[in-house]
């Protein structure tokens, strides 16, 4: 039967033109089983993050991927689980991803902090993850960041594992979840991919075998399906319908195919589209961030330039004002000095005029005291050449005691009277 299904699928793919093949998408008309009821295994160590279990689809129908503890790819990242959504009369799988915020995961109540909206199992703070003890199975001294906050779940909420369609969850993404869907995302880690591949190869995890109650419901670490860290499901989340192993049907003869792990030719166009959109949104956000940073930098440069210009203008104005004041002070000082000099010269001229009048008044006295005749009697002094008293006339000429003969002149004039 399996061989016949594969042959039919191959014939269908070959019959579709290449142009139509690119439009193929994963579409399953059979709803996934309800989520099984199980307890969370103990966290292996501090730093591990919980990723809830889910139903995946393979060539033999739905199989259970156990919930497990994994390490986040980056500090500050949280896991947004994948979910099945009803769209265009078929179910398609929406891949989970890592990001700084938890986005929309169909409103499915996966438990252990994933109650359908956001995540209440813990949060990051200063590089460390803080665990909510009320929804996480943690113990031991290795967990340093622990708190306790009660999480109230809707008791009437069933274990439906898909969004939309007949009997599915009717939740729609909130504005915050839509914003988170456009942020930077990281796909599942290598450990998570290995974990899913190992589950796909485990026959006991097929829904057709375990009827919605897998013996390996959760594990302590990825791909470790044996040992003390393995937890079995207590019960199925709802009565199992024996149609889970029915082969996938096509929406039309030429536009739908079966999703299998081995056959990657059909691909998941919706997932690729979302990935491209997320990358484009991330690039736009990064470009917008860089643009804003450049604008902030340019504004800062312009502000600094304007401040520097104002500073230079203020300094120039201050220097000009100081120079003006200096020139004014110097001019005032020069004017004051010139005024004082003029006043001093005027005072000196006024004082000097009476002194210059004395020689005019002394002219009669000088004429009266002319001893010229006596100096002309110098031949007497020449009569003594042997003594050579030549220096004496020089001394007499240097002393020039002219006033004294003028005073003694009356005595000479008195002698002839006798």
pLDDT band at 357 (very low <50, low <70, confident <90, very high): very low
Rounded to whole angstroms, the Cα distance separating 147 from 123 reads 10
**Which one is predicted more confidently, 103 or 261?**
103
**What mean pLDDT is predicted for residues 305-326?**
70
Residue 354 lies in a domain: no
Query: pLDDT tens-digit profile of 198-253?
Result: 999 999 999 999 999 999 999 999 999 999 899 999 999 999 987 644 444 433 33
Q: Which of 139-153, 282-296, 395-409 has the lowest mean pLDDT?
A: 395-409
Rounded to whole angstroms, the Cα distance separating 351 from 285 reads 97
Residue 323 lies in a domain: no
**Which one is predicted more confidently, 75 or 359?**
75
Residue 207 lies in a domain: yes
**Which one is predicted more confidently, 13 or 417?**
417
- Calculate Rg over the CA atoms of the chain: 59
**Which one is predicted more confidently, 277 or 320?**
320
**Over pLDDT 90: what percentage of the chain?**
44
Measuring CA to CA, which residue among 206, 191, 258, 190 is closest to residue 4? Answer: 258
For residue 310, pLDDT over 90 is answered with no
Highest mean pLDDT among 2-6, 194-198, 291-295, 350-354: 194-198
Query: pLDDT tens-digit profile of 53-80?
Result: 999 999 999 999 999 999 999 999 999 9
pLDDT band at 108 (very low <50, low <70, confident <90, very high): very high
**Which one is predicted more confidently, 197 or 364?**
197
Residue 209 lies in a domain: yes
Residue 301 lies in a domain: no
Going by the DSSP 8-state scheme, the letter that residue 385 receives in this structure is T
For residue 343, pLDDT over 50 is answered with yes
**What mean pLDDT is predicted for residues 259-276?**
43
Tally of CA atoms within 13 A in the half-sphere of 226 that contains its CB: 2
Residue 281 lies in a domain: no
pLDDT band at 311 (very low <50, low <70, confident <90, very high): low
> Taking all residues of the chain, what is their mean pLDDT, rounded to a whole number?
73
Question: Domain limits at 122?
Answer: 28-247
For residue 179, pLDDT over 70 is answered with yes
For residue 367, pLDDT over 60 is answered with no
* The pLDDT value given to residue 99: 96
* The pLDDT value given to residue 407: 45
Rounded to whole angstroms, the Cα distance separating 106 from 164 reads 9
* The pLDDT value given to residue 117: 94
* The pLDDT value given to residue 293: 64
Rounded to whole angstroms, the Cα distance separating 239 from 211 reads 8
In the sheet that 67-71 helps form, which strands lie side by side, from edge to edge?
48-51, 67-71, 218-219
Measuring CA to CA, which residue among 240, 167, 250 is closest to residue 208? Answer: 240
Residue 53 lies in a domain: yes
pLDDT band at 313 (very low <50, low <70, confident <90, very high): confident
Rounded to whole angstroms, the Cα distance separating 280 from 123 reads 28
Count of structural domains, the chain: 1
**What mean pLDDT is predicted for residues 259-285?**
47
Asked if 231 and 40 touch (Cβ cutoff 8 Å), the reply is: yes
The residue written with tokens 């044996």 in the block is 226
Residue 33 lies in a domain: yes
């Amino acid at each position: 039967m399996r061989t016949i299904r594969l042959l039919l699928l191959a014939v269908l793919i070959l019959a579709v033109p290449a142009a139509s093949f690119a439009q193929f998408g994963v579409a399953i008309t059979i709803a996934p089983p309800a989520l099984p009821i199980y307890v969370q295994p103990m966290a292996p160590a501090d730093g591990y993050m919980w990723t809830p279990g889910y139903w995946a689809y393979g060539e033999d129908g739905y199989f259970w991927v156990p919930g497990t503890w994994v390490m986040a790819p980056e500090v500050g990242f949280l896991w947004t689980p994948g979910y099945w959504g009803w769209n265009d009369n078929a179910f398609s799988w929406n891949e989970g991803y890592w990001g700084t915020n938890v986005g929309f995961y169909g409103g499915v109540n996966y438990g252990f902090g994933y109650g359908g909206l956001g995540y209440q199992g813990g949060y990051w703070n200063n590089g460390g993850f803080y665990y909510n003890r009320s929804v996480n199975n943690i113990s031991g001294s290795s967990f340093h960041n622990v708190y306790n906050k009660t999480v109230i779940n809707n008791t009437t909420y069933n274990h439906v594992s898909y969004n939309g369609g007949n009997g599915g969850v009717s939740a729609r993404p909130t504005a915050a979840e839509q914003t988170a869907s456009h942020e930077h995302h990281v796909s599942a880690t290598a450990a998570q991919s290995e974990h899913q591949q190992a589950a796909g190869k485990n026959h006991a995890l097929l829904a057709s075998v375990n009827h919605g109650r897998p013996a390996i419901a959760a594990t302590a670490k990825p791909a470790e399906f044996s040992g003390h860290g393995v937890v079995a499901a207590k019960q199925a989340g709802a009565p199992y319908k024996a149609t889970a192993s029915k082969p996938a049907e096509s929406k039309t003869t030429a536009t739908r195919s079966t999703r299998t792990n081995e056959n990657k030719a059909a691909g998941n166009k919706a997932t690729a589209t979302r990935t491209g959109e997320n990358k484009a949104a991330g690039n736009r956000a990064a470009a917008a961030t860089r643009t804003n940073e450049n604008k902030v930098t340019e504004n800062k440069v312009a502000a600094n330039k304007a401040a520097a210009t104002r500073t230079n203008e203020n300094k120039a104005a201050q220097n000009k004002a100081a120079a003006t004041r200096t020139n004014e002070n110097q001019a005032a000082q020069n004017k004051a000095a010139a005024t004082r000099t003029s006043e001093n010269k005027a005072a000196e001229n006024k004082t000097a005029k009476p002194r210059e009048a004395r020689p005019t008044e002394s002219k009669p006295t000088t004429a009266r005291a002319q001893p010229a005749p006596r100096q002309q009697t110098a031949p007497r002094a020449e009569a003594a050449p042997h003594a050579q008293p030549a220096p004496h006339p020089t001394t007499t000429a240097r002393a020039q005691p002219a006033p004294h003969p003028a005073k003694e002149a009356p005595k000479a004039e008195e002698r002839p009277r006798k």
